[in-house]
Copies of this chain bind each other. A is one copy, B any other.
């Protein structure tokens, strides 16, 4: 079994309730990688018998650190319309609510289509870029193969501040795994906190909320399979203890698969 499938494994325990378990393979500095928490919360909806359609929008608030070990997920269809459905999802541990999420699912149909965001330009092939070393990084970083063209995580915190925090990279699960919605969602939280790229110094940080919009159906995921994706990320504003960053995930052949935004707590 791929480690990602273990990390998002759910045991149904009642109507809309599931038992989940953090995975040591996706461990972060404290508790699990946020992307794994997002993915398992989405998985609770994907496995819910009342689910219609595919995910269009997903937001998760990291309410408190998730302790290593089991947690309970409750997924509730707050409203089901003809072709859209709104979900409220909560993860709890003994300490109380640790994550609070909402998701919009919809039956997607062919319409006029257009992409205004610009795909990364001039990317050399992934084989010609070195894979980022996961040495001295939290375990979850080993679960991704990241090859940076720009804005890599600094090798050393040398405090050589950059004038922006843009990143552009090839990335995919490691070992490779065919793309699905939980994996795409987890990838959308794999962009390192921009403050590290920008300032190249250590700061205590923590994502407080993430929103990801999906721009693909099952056929689009299948076409991507386990190819590398292109990722880009940038910050908007750092201010009074929080900053926000936005990112995009593009298929290997230039289709925009997801856009993502998050706000992150930081300390000087």
Contact = CB atoms under 8 A, between A and B. Distances in A.
A116 to B, nearest CB: 5
Interface residues of A, number: 61
Contacts of A221: none
B268 A84 contact: no
A261 B112 CA distance: 21
A84 B240 contact: no
A100 interface: yes
A86 B59 contact: no
Contacts of A88: 88, 100
Contacts of A261: 211, 213, 246, 259, 261
A71 interface: no
Interface in A81-124: 81, 84, 86, 88, 90, 96-98, 100, 102, 104, 106, 108-117
A96 B217 CA distance: 29
A265 B106 contact: yes
Given A57-B208, A102-B102, A236-B256, A241 B109 contact: yes
A66 to B, nearest CB: 12
A63 interface: yes
A164 interface: yes
A181 interface: no
Interface in A214-268: 215-217, 234-242, 244, 246, 248, 256, 259, 261, 263, 265-268
A41 interface: no
A231 to B, nearest CB: 14
19 contacts: A56-B209, A59-B102, A59-B209, A61-B86, A78-B100, A79-B97, A88-B100, A100-B102, A106-B208, A106-B241, A109-B240, A111-B241, A112-B238, A115-B236, A116-B238, A215-B239, A236-B248, A246-B246, A246-B261
Interface of A: 56-57, 59, 61, 63-64, 78-79, 81, 84, 86, 88, 90, 96-98, 100, 102, 104, 106, 108-117, 164-165, 198-199, 208-209, 211, 213, 215-217, 234-242, 244, 246, 248, 256, 259, 261, 263, 265-268
